[in-house]
Structure 1
Amino acid sequence: MLKTLAINIKHEFSYLKDVTLRSFFGGFSLNSESIMFAWIDQNNIYLRAHDEYRSMFIELGMLPLDLIFDGSHKLLDYYRVEDELRQDRQKLHTIVQMVIKYAKQDLDEKLAKSQSRLKSLPNMTVSLEKLMVSAGIIDINIFREVGYLETYYRIKSKNPKLSINILFGLFGALHGRHVGTLSSESKQIIELAYQNFLKKK
């Protein structure tokens, strides 16, 4: 019954790009280009909500998905499509396209955010990232603007015992190089650059 309903709903949305079904929390997720936009249980289809249109779902009388997981109730940000909306295919399809649009937008934003994280650079550790963030260097763009010398100066001011190896690591991070690939000569040049930087402070 459940799989038959899921397959029928998948067929109904076959006009969308790369529509797939996957087992998910005792039901099926409905996806377009691997982006989940709906969940299907025994009798219902639930659409993914978003801040931009959640109030519209509520005005339409759509109820949030309430799943029992590990013995407790969990309200998920998916809302049940009522019979009236299911029968109005044109309106439903328009809403589904809107849901997918915002789902993709969220995914793109998360991807951009993860790619701008300092942790994605060579030589970065979580502790170093936290230290840099505390010094106002919250992402890669700011790190590039500030530069490795100023960055080291700021974080060493917060932690005077910071190793000189962190300076080398910051240089490598900005230049896409692992600190282990830096020669002794390169390290001497970097350390000299920092000494000259301090003289101008």
Structure 2
Amino acid sequence: MLRVVVLVSGGGTNLQAILDKIKDGTVKNAEVVGVISNNHNVYSLTRAENAGIPNAVVSAKDFPTREEFNNALLEKVDSFDPDLVVLAGFLVVIPPAMIDKYENRMINIHPSLIPSFCGTGYYGLKVHEAALARGVKVTGATVHFVDKGTDTGPIILQKAVNVLPGDTAKVLQQRVMEEAEWIILPEAIDMIANGRI
């Protein structure tokens, strides 16, 4: 059984997609053993509670230095003894020591078709605003392994989503989540859990 720890910063819709796909048997041989947020009072923690999953908050605001936060984050991840770390809307720069320790065992979901609209500064609505400003007709989402660059690790899965006339960044964000992110993130976990990657 693949032990998965999910790192989140907000509402946790990708976390919910993972939990739902494990529950309905779409994702086999995997279990979420812990959820870690860098923010207090976010709905993702409630989702974890509702599913009976141990959860914790490690917030940079609670530490005097970035180094202490980084150490505490790695310590908390380690405490769950994960086989796979999943960044599901985790808006934190991952410490190099953590990337080294979980090399090829940490994945991220990004709301564009990498290499478009990715890298430093591209997160949340900013990705979709950039796609609309550029006038692209197709966007989507990418699941990739995490390396020391920003959105530069090897790509596992991508799924395209059409941009429709009149889309706002918020409308497009929702469509990308529903039609791509919530599908390919659980699928990538299933592939890893069952030796297909």
- The two structures have a TM-score, normalised by structure 2, of 0.28
Between the two structures, name the one with larger relative contact order (CA 8 Å, sep ≥ 6). Answer: 2
Radius of gyration: which is bigger? Answer: 1
Structure number having the greater helix percentage = 1
- The two structures have a TM-score, normalised by structure 1, of 0.27
